[in-house]
Chains A and B, each alone.
Chain A
Amino acid sequence: MASALLQFTLLLAVMAALVVPVGNWLYGVLTSERHTAPERLTYRLLGVDPTERMTWKRYGLVLVVSNLVLLLFAYLLLRLQGLLPWNPAGLRAQAPDLAWNTVVSFMTNTNWQAYSGEQSLSYFSQMAVITTFMFTSAATGFAAAAAFMRGLAGRDGTNLGNFWVDLTRIIYRVFLPLSFVLALVFVWQGMPQTLSPSVNATTLEGATQRIALGPVATLESIKHLGTNGGGFFGMNAAHPFENPTPLTNALHILSMLLLPSALTYTFGRMLGNLRQGWVIFGSMLVMFVGFLATVYSFEQAGNPILSRLGADQTLSAMQAGGNMEGKEVRFGIAQTALFATTTTAATTGSVDSMHDSYTGLGGLVPMTQMMLNNVFGGKGVGFINFVQYLVLGVFIAGLMVGRTPEFLGKKIEAREIKLTMLALLAHPLSILGFTALAVTLPSALSSLNNPGPHGFSEILYAYTSGTANNGSAFAGLGANTPFYNLTIGLAMLIGRYLTLLPMLAVAGLLAAKRRVPVSSGTLPTDTALFGGLTVFVILIVGALTFLPALTLGPVADHLQMLKGVVLK
């Protein structure tokens, strides 16, 4: 318990200490007037004008078109895998529905994987398709957040910046150097980075163990810096080659949180109001700590059914104890709980343990964080989601006191609220709608790996993960069927673009508005009080929307476990 608290405190302290320096650095990247030589060369090659100033419509169009082209290009590469180099295992191309699911998944920064890496992708595909997507989709989300912030800051009229410049700079100045250094640290700790084929080992007992290898470290570093989450191997960051030591686990966690947390400070600087940034950071942190405490307690308490069968789950000097099904000894419960909380807070979706085998309420935490989808959040998108709730908070507070709501000096009116509600409602509609559809189809139910409420949780988790662009899974669900590939693919697209585009529009509309002077009737949004109000709005809206579904799944599951009910 003491060692768990120490680890939590240490990691969160390191994260908090990095907020200001990294936030300042990102501010420089997003606002500097200078283009470096490689960037200028890139703009020339692409034939784009780096001085073009884009409105929200133009910015959104360029973002969508560039994403679409990359999607088709990557689909082609995947389908041609058999003809391309670096395929020592001679793997064939993914089937069309699976390849569609894969490219949509990585394009939208979801990283849902209906395939198992070592069984399905060549080294070439792991690098040229998956690793590339990890850079571009993370940079796209980041760029959208930058544009969104510029709109809210409203310093330059309707200009939200230049998508090409944002994309290029984020990749060249932030992701590439950080990924390179981190990848080397990962290799030092025991992560492979090679193009050599699998190795045949003869074990001490004389059996043959075939060991899959590959360019793992370069994928792993951008996987978490870009909060992507898709693993090189099927079992993701639980696999010792993806996560060999507790230090790599801690670095995975920190790199997921690094940029989303710093972005709150960057936002404060853009607004010229650092307090606003800190209020957002603080609100996110409060929710994070609450969720972390929940998942840690329930997983450490363990599964009473296993205790009755003779398994000793108590925490002692000799063992960490707890519910160890699907978990790794080197991480124990503490680092596992921290990873699970982070990966679903930061919309990463990698796992260092199997969420499907969590206790009911332990598994409820990752699910709920994805439903709320704004506790830190992935590259920029979680930030946008959080602002969506700020706008809603201002609106609700305005209704309560009977004043026209204002946010950052701009009046919030019907159009902004309609767009915000579109973004807000698309999310539960996709999650609950697709879940309801799936549970009515016998063919979809035949993919379940678990009976009873836990089976329902598997489906609910899948669409939550897809819509939240997370990518983690209750992985027992056999999701590689045309039905799931198609519908989860749609959920990912809805979750990504129906959040991003309406909120970009809100930023554009606000940018075009006249600033109203602060008066005694203005509700200040940079106070702890308002931060608290926003957290309540998030939790209440989330609870009203999702509690019924959560009760049918994880809550019922947990109650049955406590009663010792075992299901066939």
Chain B
Amino acid sequence: MATELDNIELRPARREFLKSAAALATTLIAPGIILYKTGHASNTPGKKPRWGLLIDTNALSESDVDACVSACQREHGWESDPDSRTDAQWIRKVKLTDPESGHQRFLPMMCMHCENPPCVDVCPTGASFKRDDGIVLVNKHTCIGCRYCMMACPYKARSFIHETLKDQLPVAPRGKGTVESCTLCVHRIDRDGSNAIPACAEAVNHGDRKAIWFGDLHDPQSEISQRLQALGAVKLRADMGLNPGVRYQGL
């Protein structure tokens, strides 16, 4: 009985001690900097998650792809005039036609969140970076607007902001003179972890009918991994060895 009481009394004290020890360590490592953990823990213990998308082009109609684009625009507050060559496009509708059979299909294209991203390699200031969980982003505070990442990206995933922007959304800060691209809805992922659904996927997944899967590519038990294992998928420009985190079925 006494021991149990002791324990009860000790526990909060011990917790306090651990907290302050952690705080002390943080101050010692980097004074003034608070370390946030990036992404949520994976289901597989000991292995960091790598977030990815699986896009089933067989399940996507042209209007579905349009819905992906609109959903992304609403989510992040970007617009694109169809005739403009300077407006940003975080996600775009691509129409593929087989020249022999005439067969057509539509697919959404966005940042592929490569494991070995060329944009990160070439960025002089390190503004282009890859998070531990595989999401490739641009740090808007250190991007100098040199556009070398746009030269290097094999997927044309990035846009340069050509003019002053108004009415930006808090989840997607943007700035004239810098480069931007799909964030994989990182704000949703940081909030919901593996339960997150990026806006483009949300727009085309209705109940049992799914066309875009989001999940942890490192977790063999995740739905996306299971599906990749069972049905396979294509990595665009696989010859370049970039290992994109976005995969396509039906190409």
Do A and B make up one complex? no
Residues of A within 8 A of B (CB): none
